[in-house]
Amino acid sequence: MHFKSVALVGRHQDTGLDAPLRSLIDTLHGAGCKVIIEAATARNTGITEHPTADWAQIGESADLAVIMGGDGTMLGAARELAHYEVPLVGINHGRLGFITDIPLQNATDAISSVLEGNYEIEERSLLWGQVLRGEETLFSGVALNDVVINRAGRGGMIELHVELDGAFMHSQRADGLIVATPTGSTAYALSANGPILDTRLNALVLVPVAPQTLSNRPIVIPDSGLLSITITALGRVESGASVHFDMQTWSDCQPGDRIEVRRAQDRVQFIHPRGYSFFSTLRRKLHWNLMPQVSDEVE
């Protein structure tokens, strides 16, 4: 895979993003790459001396997209570019950064190595879902991390009826329910005590949020089926429920509304510098194995 045309996408809220982006542009030009700046990134950083493009134009013309920001920036880029099969590489200019895995201080060396062909390709699954009221589709979208159904505002618990491929799984009363991909298993699902899924698994995890009954536990299911989640009751008459597709929200759910979720047809391609390890990322981000070394010497 040769990267002749490279798009740059940055997190708009970050101050000081222009300097590392300009440094990266110099590296890309030095390697003979054409550089395209995502339009909103150009406006918010003041980097307007290079060609700019919207998402569709990037999808049609770029061989690689470099995302500089946090995981939220990567989520948005993945949803926009997955259909075009543009591979993504993430530079962490955010906080935790599970999917923007290249530290900012290593960006120049890492990108140079990738351009020289020293990289690995990893595919990640997306979710597609829709909110239905009867036969009417109220909202639909894709998500890389998760689809989350939860109570709105100060309303009480919501009641959910869950089916997989038409087979009844369970009903539950809870603050919400998370349907996460392996990528999303280290996001909201992890904070709700869900398991971490290896990103190579073809699976989804359902994680209840503050369930009324403690026997409602997370469950891992194949990603080949169709999940159907019906809101059967709300905690209060005046309250509602909302559905979040990563950062996209439909906030007017009512009893009887049905949320269908399945694996999306498109997949996201991530580019990692050679030597990348998902478990190394977990150890670093979650501070595993930080206990003091025990000496083998006998006192």
What the block records as the tokens of 168 is 């009844």
Closest Cα partner for 162 from 220, 209, 226? 226
CA angle centred on 149, ends 97 and 254, rounded to 5°: 150
Tell me the Ramachandran region of residue 69: left when phi exceeds 0, alpha when psi lies from -120 to 50, beta otherwise: left
Tell me if 121 sits within 8 A of 271, measured CB to CB: yes
Active site (annotated) includes residue 71: yes
Instruction: Say whether 17 sits in a helix, a strand or coil.
Output: coil
149 residue type, one letter: I
Of 187, 184, 199, the C-alpha closest to 142 is 184
Dist CA 206 CA 220 (whole Å): 6
Query: Do 137 and 131 touch, CB atoms closer than 8 A?
Result: yes
Q: Which residue among the candidates 14, 26, 54, 71 is catalytic per the annotation?
A: 71
19 burial via Cβ count (<10 Å: 0-12, 13-18, 19+): exposed
Give the active site residues.
71
